[in-house]
A and B are shown apart, each in its own frame.
Chain A
Amino acid sequence: MSWFTSSGGPGLLPYLLVGAILFGIGVTGVLSQRNSLMILMSIEIIINAAILTLVAFWRFVRPDQFDAQVFVIIIVTIAAVEMASGLGLVLMVFRQRGNANVDEAKELKQ
C-alpha cells in the first residue's frame, strides 16, 4: 500500500493518522476542561493537528508547490493572535470573578 510507505519510510497515511488522533485529543480537551486557559491550549492542539495534516499533504501530494507552507505560516500567526486575545479575555474574566472556570460562567442563561 503506497499510502502507508514512501520509499521505505512512513508515507502519507501515518502522518494523517497522527493528525486525526491529535485532533481527537484536542476535541476531548476543549469539551472536558474546566479552566479556560486549558481550553485555549486544547484549541492549540487542534490547530497543530490541522497543520500537521497540511504539511503531510504538501509533502506527499504537491511537494513542488510551496503554497501549503505559506498557509501554515499564516495559520500559526493567526493561532498566535487568537492566543493573545484569548489570554486577554481570560485575564479580564479572571479579574471580574476571581477564577477562569467555564462552568461557573452562567450569565448566558440569566
Chain B
Amino acid sequence: MIGVQVFWLAPLLPLVAFGLLALGLSRSGRLASALAVLAMAGSTIVSVLGLVAAAQGMRATVSLPWLSVGGRSLTLALWLDPLSALIATLVSVIGFIVFVYAASYMAEEPLRGRFFAEFSLFAGSMLTLVLAADLITLFLAWELVGICSYLLIGFWFERDAPPIAATKAFFTTRLADLLLLVGVLLLVGTVGTGRIAPILSAVTGGKIASNLLLFIALLLFAGAAGKSAQVPFQGWLPDAMAGPTPVSAFLHSATMVAAGVFLVARLYPLFLVATPALQIIAWVGVLTSLLGGAAALVETDLKRTLAYSTMSQVGLMFVGLGSGSLLAGVLLLVVQALYKSTLFLAAGAVDRAVEENTTFMYMGGLLRRMPFTAFAFALSAAALAGLPVTLAFPAKDAILAAAWYANISLFSAALVASLLSALYSARAFSLVFLGMPSPTAQNAHEPKHGLLVPILSLALLVPLGLLVNAAVLGHPLSRLLGGTVPDVPMVTGVTLVLAIIGVVIGIGARFIWPRALVWPSLQTIGPIFAGEFGFKVLYRLVSHGGLGAVRIANIVDHALFDTLNSWAIRGLLAFVRACAEIDRTLFDAFAGVVVRVMMTVVRASGRIDLRGFDTTVRDVGQGILTFSQRVRGLQTGRIENYLLFVFMWGVGVLALAVLVALLR
C-alpha cells in the first residue's frame, strides 16, 4: 500500500517548500504561493492515502538517527497510526483549502513570499508534530509551531498591534513549553526512550511511580494548555487575531490550538493512569469554556468573538478528554476544526467586504449582499451552536454524554457552556448578516472567486465532518480509533433543546424584539434596539445595573417584555458578566491578598526589629563603618589595581595548595 510507504512525505513537502522559499524563491510572490499550495496539495494526497492505509490496519514507522547524548541515541521518527493519520489528514485538508484561500487573500501583499514561506513551515511543522513517533521530535515540531505562530501573528510587523500580540503569544506559549520540556525530559529520562509506543506501554505497565506520573502528566498538560489557550495561559489567543485572517483560520482550527488537544489525546493512556490528572483537565476545560463563552457574548469584534468561541470549544474538548472519553474529544476536535476554519474564512471575506473593519458596528444585514458567504457562515455557525446540521448529532453531544457519565456538576457546567456557545454563535450570525445594514455594509458584495470557492468547499466539508461518526455510516471514527462514543439519549435531548433555545434567543433578540417595539408609545426607544447595539445595550443594561441601565430597564421591563423571558435573560447575562468579571479580577484579588498578608508580616517583623535588635545592630554598624572607612582606600577605581587584587588572591590560593602539599 503506497500510503504506508510515503506517509512521511506529508510533513516533508511543506518543509521542502519552506526551504526553497527561504533559499530565495520567495522574491516572486506568485511563484511562492503556487509552490506552497502545490506542496500542501501533495501532502493532502499523501495524508489521505496514509489515512486509508491506517484504516485498513496498517502501521509504519520511519526514523532518522540524529545524535547520541550520554549514551542514548536520539532519533527523529515519524509513524503512521490511526490517530496521527486522522489528524494529519485533517491538518492537510484544511491547510490546503486555507492555502488556496490565502493565495488570493494575500494577493496584494508585497511580502507574500515571506508569508507563504512561514505558512509552509507552519503547516509542515504541525504535520511533523502530528506524525511524530517520539517525544523529542514532537517537542521540536512543537517549538517550530510556536515560532511560526510568532512569525505569522507578527506578519504585519510595521503595524502597532501585531508585534505586541506576537510577542505575547510567543512568551505565553514559551512559558508553557518550558513546563512541557521538563515533562518530556522527565518522561524520556524515566522510561529511557523517546518513542511514544514504549512510553505508553511502560506507563500502562505501571513501571513509573504514581506521584511522578501525576507530576509528569500535569507538566505535559501545562504545555498543552499553553498551546490550546487554556485557563492560566489563555491571554494570547484573542490578541492573536492581529495576524492575517488565513493565519487565524489555520491557527484556530487545525494547527496550534489543536496541538494541545492532540498532545493529550496522543498520550491519553498516560493521563488515564495518572489518576487525578483527568479531573483537573476536565475542570480547567470547563472553566475555560465558560470564560470563553462569556467573553464571546460581550465582544464587539467579529474575529475576537470567534477567538473566544475557539477557547470555549477547546475547553469542551478538554472536558470530553477529561471525562474519560478519548473519542468525544477527538470528534469535537475534527468537527470544530472544519467549522471554525470556515467561520474564519467567512469572517475574512466579511472584513474585506466592509472595508477592512472587524467590529460588528460596521456590519449587519449582509445576508442579502453576500448570500453565499452567509450560507457558509450559517452552516458552520449552526454546527458551532450544536444544531443537527446533518443526520448526525452534533459533536458536543458526545462530550456532554461523557461528562454525564463522569460527574454531574461537570455536566451541568458543560451544559451552561454549551448553551453559551449556542447563544454567541447565533448572536454573531445575526449581528453580521441580519438586521439593518450599516453604512459600510451597504456597498458590500460577495468576495472574488478565489476567496469564495475555498469558503464554500470548506463549508460543504462541515456536514461531512459531522458525519464522521454517524450511526448511518456505522461509526467510522469508532472503528478507526477503537472504543465507542458515549451516547445518552436524555442528554442528547437536553442539549438539542438547549441549543435550539439558545439559537432562538440569539436570533430572536435581533428579530422579534425590534418588531415588538413598534408600539407607538415606545417609538423613541426603538432605534436603540433596532440599531447596531441591541445586544450590547441589553448586556450593559442588565449586567451593569447602573443608573442609565435602570432607566431603560424600567421602561422596557414594564412596558413590553414578558417578565419571565426578561428575568431569564437578565440572570443569564448577570452570570455572564460575573464570569467575565471573575476572569478579570480573580488573579488581581489573589495577588492583592498575598501582598497584604506579606506586608503585615513584614511590618510585624519590622516592629520586633526596632525594639529588640536595634542597639546591638547600631553598635555593630558603627564598628563596620569605621572599619570600612579604612578599607575605602583600597577602592582606587582603576582596573589594573583590581586585577592585582584578584591575582593576589589567586597566588594566595596557590600558596595554600603548596602548603597542603608540603604538609602531606
Is A64 an interface position by the 8 A CB rule?
A: no
Give chain A's interface residue range (CB within 8 Å of chain B): 10 to 19
* Contact status B637-A107, CB under 8 Å: yes
B647 to chain A: which residues have CB within 8 Å? 27, 30-31
- Cross-chain contact of A31 among B635, B636, B637, B640 (Cβ < 8 A): B640
CB-defined contacts of A106 to chain B, threshold 8 Å: 636-638
Tell me whether B1 is interfacial, beta carbon within 8 Å: no
A110 within 8 A of B: yes
Point out the residue from A31, A105, A107, A110 that lies within 8 Å of B644, measured CB to CB.
A31
The interface residues of chain B lying within 8 Å CB-to-CB of A107 are 637
Residues 57-110 (chain A) with a chain B CB within 8 angstroms: 102-103, 105-110
Distance of A106 Cα from B640 Cα, bound (Å): 10
Q: Is B639 an interface residue (CB 8 A)?
A: yes
B643 located at the interface, meaning its Cβ lies under 8 Å from any Cβ of chain A in the complex: yes
- Chain B residues 625 to 654 lying within 8 A of chain A, measured CB to CB, are 635-640, 642-644, 647
- Interface residues in A14-62 by Cβ distance below 8 A to B read 27, 30-31
Q: Are A103 and B638 in contact (CB under 8 A)?
A: yes
Chain A residues with CB under 8 Å of B635's CB are 108-109
Q: Contact at B643–A105, with CB atoms within 8 Å? A: no
- Decide: A30 and B643 in contact? CB cutoff 8 A: yes
List the B side residues contacting A108 at CB < 8 Å.
635, 637-639, 642
Q: Do A105 and B639 have beta carbons less than 8 Å apart? A: yes
CB-based nearest B residue for A109: B637
Q: When chains A and B are docked, how far (Å) is the Cα of A107 from the Cα of B638?
A: 8
B-chain residues with CB within 8 Å of residue A105 when the two chains form the complex: 638-639
B637 touches A110 (CB 8 A): yes
Contacts of A30 in B (CB 8 A): 643, 647
The distance from the CB of A70 to the nearest CB of chain B, in whole angstroms, is: 15
Nearest-CB residue, chain B, relative to A104: B638
Encode B498-531 as 1/0 by CB contact (under 8 A) with A: 0000000000000000000000000000000000
| Closest-CB distance, A20 to chain B (whole angstroms) | 10
B638 contacts across to A, CB distance below 8 A:
102-103, 105-106, 108-109
Given A27-B647, A30-B647, A31-B647, A102:B640 Cβ within 8 A: yes
A102 to B640, CA, bound (A): 7
CB distance from B460 to the nearest CB of A (A): 59
Number of interface residues, chain B, beta carbon within 8 A:
10
A33 CB, min distance to chain B CBs, angstroms: 8
Q: Chain A residues with Cβ under 8 A from B636's Cβ? A: 106, 109
CB of A14 to closest CB in B, whole Å: 20
Please name all residues of chain B whose beta carbon is closer than 8 Å to the beta carbon of A102 when the two chains form the complex. 638-640
CB proximity of B217 to chain A, nearest CB, Å: 39
- How far apart are the CA atoms of A31 and B646 in the complex, in Å? 10
Tell me the smallest distance from the CB of A101 to a CB of chain B, in Å.
10
Bound-complex Cα distance A30 to B651 (A): 14
Q: Which residue of B lies closest to A34 (CB)?
A: B640
* Interchain CA distance A105-B638 in the complex, whole Å: 6
Bound-state CA distance A102–B642 (Å) is 11
In the assembled complex, the CB of B641 is this many whole angstroms from the nearest CB of chain A, namely 9
Distance of A106 Cα from B647 Cα, bound (Å):
20
Smallest CB–CB gap between B657 and chain A, Å?
Answer: 13
A108 to chain B: closest residue by CB: B637
In the complex, A103 Cα to B641 Cα: how many Å? 9
Contacts of A103 in B (CB 8 A): 638-640
Nearest to B640 among chain A residues (CB) is A102
Q: For chain B residues 611-631, which have a beta carbon within 8 Å of chain A? A: none
Q: Could you tell me the distance between the alpha carbons of A89 and B470 in the complex, rounded to whole angstroms? A: 69
Closest chain B CB from A27 CB (angstroms): 6
How many angstroms between the C-alpha atoms of A23 and B639 in the bound complex? 20
Once the chains are docked, how many angstroms separate the CA of A106 from the CA of B638?
Answer: 5
B637 to A, closest residue via Cβ: A109
Residue of A nearest to B644 (CB): A31
Which A residues lie within 8 Å of B642 (CB)?
108
Residues of A within 8 A of B643 (CB): 30-31
Q: How far is B648's CA from A104's CA once the two chains are assembled, in angstroms?
A: 22
B634 CB → nearest A CB, Å: 11
Closest Cβ neighbor of B639 among chain A residues:
A102
Cβ–Cβ < 8 Å partners of A31 in chain B? 640, 643-644, 647
Question: In the complex, what's the smallest C-beta–C-beta distance from B68 to chain A, in angstroms?
Answer: 16
Residues of A within 8 A of B637 (CB): 106-110
How far, in whole Å, are A110 and B636 apart by their CA atoms in the complex?
10
Q: Chain A nearest CB: distance from B533 CB in Å?
A: 58
CA distance A13 to B635 in the complex (A): 40
How many angstroms from the CA of A110 to the CA of B637 in the assembled complex?
A: 8
Which of A27, A107, A108 is packed against the most chain B CB atoms within 10 Å?
A108
Interface string of B355-372 (1 = CB under 8 A from A): 000000000000000000
B636 (CB) vs chain A CBs: closest residue:
A109
* A104 CB to nearest B CB, Å: 9
Nearest chain-B residue to A27 (Cβ)? B647
Expressed in whole angstroms, the Cα–Cα distance for A103 and B642 within the complex equals 11
Min C-beta distance of B467 to chain A, whole Å: 61
A90 to B643, alpha carbons, bound, how many Å? Answer: 17
The answer for the CA separation of A105 and B639 in the assembled complex, in Å, is: 7
Residue of B whose beta carbon sits closest to that of A33:
B640
- Tell me the bound Cα distance from A97 to B195 in angstroms: 59
Distance between Cα atoms of A107 and B636 in the complex (Å): 10
Distance of A27 Cα from B642 Cα, bound (Å): 14
Q: How far is it, in angstroms, between the C-alpha of A108 and the C-alpha of B642 when the chains are bound?
A: 10
Q: Name the distance in Å between B109's Cβ and chain A's nearest Cβ.
A: 38
Query: In whole Å, how far is B651's beta carbon from the nearest beta carbon of chain A?
Result: 8
Residues of B within 8 A of A109 (CB): 635-638
B221 to A: closest C-beta gap in Å: 39
Could you tell me the distance between the alpha carbons of A109 and B644 in the complex, rounded to whole angstroms? 16
Least CB distance from A82 to B in Å reads 15
User: What distance in Å separates the Cβ of B642 from its nearest Cβ neighbour in chain A?
Assistant: 8
- By beta carbon, the residue of chain B nearest A106 is B637
CB B587 to nearest CB in A, in angstroms, measures 42
15 pairs across A/B with beta carbons < 8 Å?
A27-B647, A30-B647, A31-B644, A31-B647, A103-B638, A103-B639, A103-B640, A105-B639, A106-B636, A106-B637, A108-B637, A108-B639, A109-B636, A109-B637, A109-B638
Give the interface of A toward B (CB within 8 A). Answer: 27, 30-31, 102-103, 105-110
What 8 pairs across the A-B complex have the smallest Cβ distances?
A109-B637, A108-B637, A106-B637, A102-B639, A102-B640, A31-B644, A106-B638, A105-B639
- Besides the known contacts A31-B644, A108-B637, 15 further A-B residue pairs in the complex with CB atoms under 8 A apart: A30-B643, A31-B640, A31-B643, A102-B638, A102-B640, A103-B638, A103-B639, A105-B638, A105-B639, A107-B637, A108-B635, A108-B642, A109-B635, A109-B637, A110-B637
Identify the B interface with A (CB < 8 A): 635-640, 642-644, 647
